[in-house]
């Protein structure tokens, strides 16, 4: 066997192994998604969107409470987290740049991004739930916002830095003050990237259960009171899935399906926006 | 010793004993540069890479101030004051001394909004005034015919040469006294280059122009005065024809005949 033949064989082997590994990894993903879609679609019906939770055994039970609660929690978290994340990212890219403070913030943010979300839940329990004396939607939203901020901060920082420095200089050369340069030129140039970061940030917190367990807690009934415990799809799913009742378990599947599709949709949308922004 | 001609006509700018040091650098990048910049004419700055011509150009609108830690010394006189004064209003200065960059810098907005940007910064909101002045600026930049039917389109859809003319339109729309060109054609094809050069010659009726170029033919074609810089010093400033035909300094002669650089 010549050296070249040997290399060809090794090449083919490496290719075969890496392909096999990819297939195995993806197989699990599709297995999970497949089961989720089959069971989830089966469990879907209109009652889910019309009725709130009820004790097991009632025909008229649904997930309206958890769906609305989920939207409120994620919406409120977005409302808190997006401005903070974008402004902090703007500071890093436009003001802090390579200063020591900026690097420290970036490092801490990166650590925060990989912090176990239950730790953040415990933190919010200590600083919000304890002083308030009860669970609340506010506490849940704050916990989600804390998880969301590093994601948005990092993408904003990265995306703003992609805007060429000459574009900033050109605006300064026309006599623009710094805040105008940032708003008119830098944000505009990076808007697809920032929007993607926001969507990915929302997707990141949309599926969180742990930080909600002892912040917004859960409830089986419909509520819009932000000072009360608030149901969410994730915690409801958790409770229903471990219950021994078949109809609750069915609702759990439906919740899992709806949530997964919501997050999948956000991720796809985020990537599409980035793609379209690049193509222009 | 440097040979600097004395310009009898009115001057737009006067540089006197100007020194510039970048942040953290041990030695100044510009050493005791003194030169007059004639009004309503084109002054070209030539010299090998790293000679300080772009550094000098970016001092005229205090562009270096965007990056903290640089130091200016000496004097650049403009409209009767030293613009190196730390109290100089940079926003006002930059509306008086505009700049065109090496690479076209079309903002991510429509063609119209690009040209209107500087005027809007100055608080002009009146729609018909904006429209009139945008059209005038685009006409002066020889771009109006090509873009008049698509003013609302994204400026990044224009070609490189068109974008560079758009940048010129944007700069002249605010009616500056001086325009700084930093190698404005080095990213363009020959035909676009010709267009820009023609524009530079036309514009000197209204503004004083300083142009940095790597291309000596370009300096010879467009400029009235040429300054040759080497290692942070201004070696010679003279009428363009004289400098290229009968340079007074040996270094200048060696550079323009291609012995180094």
pLDDT of residue B7: 78
pLDDT of residue A15: 97
Residues on chain B touching A169 (C-beta within 8 angstroms): 63, 66, 99, 101, 105
pLDDT of residue B261: 64
Contact between chains at B95 and A280 (C-beta distance less than 8 A): no
Contact between chains at A170 and B107 (C-beta distance less than 8 A): yes
Residues on chain A touching B66 (C-beta within 8 angstroms): 168-169, 172
- Quote the ipTM score: 0.91
Q: How confident is the model at residue A161 (pLDDT cuts 50, 70, 90)?
A: very high
- Contacts across the A-B interface (CB distance below 8 Å): 66
Contact between chains at B117 and A169 (C-beta distance less than 8 A): no
Q: Order the strands of the B3-4 sheet from edge to edge.
A: B3-4, B233-239, B225-230, B42-46, B208-212, B178-182, B97-100
pLDDT of residue A279: 62
pLDDT of residue B103: 92
Query: Collapsing DSSP states into helix, strand and coil, what is residue A76?
Result: helix
Q: By C-alpha distance, which of B161, B164, B169 is closest to B113?
A: B169
**B3-105+177-256, which class in CATH?**
alpha beta
CA distance B156 to chain A (A): 8
Q: What is the mean pLDDT of residues A68-92?
A: 96
Domain coordinates of chain B in residue numbers?
3-105+177-256
Per residue in A81-93, pLDDT tens?
Answer: 999 999 999 999 9
Per residue in A184-227, pLDDT tens?
Answer: 999 999 999 999 999 999 999 999 999 999 899 988 888 888 99
Contact between chains at B66 and A188 (C-beta distance less than 8 A): no
Q: What is the mean pLDDT of residues A118-125?
A: 95
pLDDT of residue A183: 95
- Residue in chain A lying closest to B64 (CA): A169
Contact between chains at B170 and A174 (C-beta distance less than 8 A): yes
- Largest Cα–Cα distance of chain B, in whole Å? 56
Distances (CA, A) of A23 to A26, A32, A260, B142: 5, 14, 22, 59
Residues on chain A touching B105 (C-beta within 8 angstroms): 164, 166-167, 169-170
pLDDT of residue A273: 86
pLDDT values of chain B reduced to their tens digit, one per residue, 261 residues: 578 888 777 899 999 999 999 999 999 999 999 999 999 999 999 999 989 999 999 999 999 999 989 999 999 999 999 999 999 999 999 999 999 999 999 999 999 999 999 999 999 999 999 999 999 999 999 999 999 999 999 999 999 999 999 999 999 999 999 999 999 999 889 998 999 999 999 999 999 999 999 999 999 999 999 999 999 999 999 999 999 999 999 999 999 998 876
Residues of B near A (CB-CB distance < 8 A)?
61, 63, 66, 91-95, 98-99, 101-103, 105, 107-109, 117-118, 121-122, 154, 156, 167, 170-171, 174
**Cα-to-chain-centroid distance, residue A231:** 18
Q: By C-alpha distance, which of B64, A176, A145, A82 is closest to A90?
A: A82
pLDDT of residue A280: 52
Report the residue from B61, B102, B156 with minimal CB separation from A173.
B61
Q: For A53-57, A62-66, A114-118, B204-208, which range has the lowest pLDDT when averaged over its residues?
A: A53-57
CA distance B169 to chain A (A): 12
pLDDT of residue B130: 95
Would you tell me how many other CB atoms lie within 10 Å of the CB of residue A161?
Answer: 16
Contact between chains at B121 and A175 (C-beta distance less than 8 A): yes
Contact between chains at B118 and A184 (C-beta distance less than 8 A): no
Residues on chain B touching A170 (C-beta within 8 angstroms): 99, 101, 105, 107, 167
Rounded Cα distance between A261 and A241, Å, is 18
């Amino acid at each position: 066997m010549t050296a070249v033949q040997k290399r060809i064989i090794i090449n083919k082997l490496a290719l075969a192994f890496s392909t096999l590994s990819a297939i195995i990894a993806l197989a699990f993903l599709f297995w999970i998604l497949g089961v989720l879609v089959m069971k989830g679609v089966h469990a879907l019906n209109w009652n889910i969107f019309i009725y709130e939770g009820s004790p097991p055994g009632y025909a008229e039970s649904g997930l309206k409470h958890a769906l609305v609660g989920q939207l409120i929690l994620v919406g409120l978290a977005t409302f808190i987290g997006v401005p903070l994340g974008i402004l902090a990212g703007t500071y890093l890219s436009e003001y802090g740049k390579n200063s020591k403070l900026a690097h420290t913030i970036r490092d801490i943010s990166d650590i925060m991004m990989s912090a176990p979300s239950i730790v953040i839940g415990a933190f919010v329990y200590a600083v919000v739930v304890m002083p308030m004396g009860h669970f609340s939607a506010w506490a849940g939203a704050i916990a989600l916002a804390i998880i969301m901020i590093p994601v948005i901060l990092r993408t904003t920082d990265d995306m703003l830095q992609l805007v060429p420095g000459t574009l900033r200089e050109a605006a300064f050369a026309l006599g623009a003050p710094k805040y105008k340069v940032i708003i008119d030129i830098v944000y505009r140039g990076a808007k697809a990237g920032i929007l993607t970061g926001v969507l990915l940030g929302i997707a990141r917190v949309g599926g969180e259960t742990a930080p909600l367990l002892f912040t917004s807690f859960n409830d089986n009934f419909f509520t819009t009171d932000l000072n009360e415990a608030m149901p969410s799809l994730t915690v409801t799913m958790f409770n229903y899935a471990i219950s021994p009742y078949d109809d609750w378990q069915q609702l759990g599947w439906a919740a899992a399906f709806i949530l997964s599709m919501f997050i999948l949709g956000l991720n796809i949308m985020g990537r599409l926006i980035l793609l379209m922004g690049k193509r222009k | 010793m440097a040979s600097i001609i004395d310009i009898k006509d009115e001057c737009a700018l006067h540089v006197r004993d100007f020194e510039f040091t970048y942040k953290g650098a041990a030695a100044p990048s510009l050493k005791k540069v003194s030169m007059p910049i004639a009004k309503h004419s084109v002054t070209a700055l030539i010299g090998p890479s790293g000679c300080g011509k772009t550094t000098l150009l970016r001092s005229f609108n205090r562009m270096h101030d965007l990056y903290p830690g640089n130091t200016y010394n000496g004097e650049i006189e403009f409209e009767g004051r030293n613009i190196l004064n730390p109290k100089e209003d940079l926003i006002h200065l930059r509306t008086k001394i505009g700049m065109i960059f090496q690479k076209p810098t079309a903002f991510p907005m429509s063609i119209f909004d690009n040209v209107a940007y500087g005027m809007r910064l100055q608080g002009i909101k009146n729609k018909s005034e904006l429209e009139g002045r945008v059209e005038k600026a685009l006409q002066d930049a020889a771009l109006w015919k090509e873009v008049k039917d698509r003013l609302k389109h994204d400026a990044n859809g224009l070609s490189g040469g068109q974008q560079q003319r758009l940048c010129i339109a944007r700069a002249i729309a605010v009616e500056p006294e001086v325009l700084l060109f930093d190698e404005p054609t080095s990213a363009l094809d020959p035909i676009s280059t010709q267009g820009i050069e023609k524009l530079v010659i036309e514009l000197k009726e209204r503004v004083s122009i300083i142009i940095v170029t790597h291309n000596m033919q370009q300096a010879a074609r467009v400029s009235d005065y040429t300054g040759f810089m080497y290692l942070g010093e201004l070696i010679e400033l003279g009428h363009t024809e004289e400098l290229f035909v009968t340079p007074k300094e040996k270094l200048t002669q060696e550079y323009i005949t291609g012995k180094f650089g």
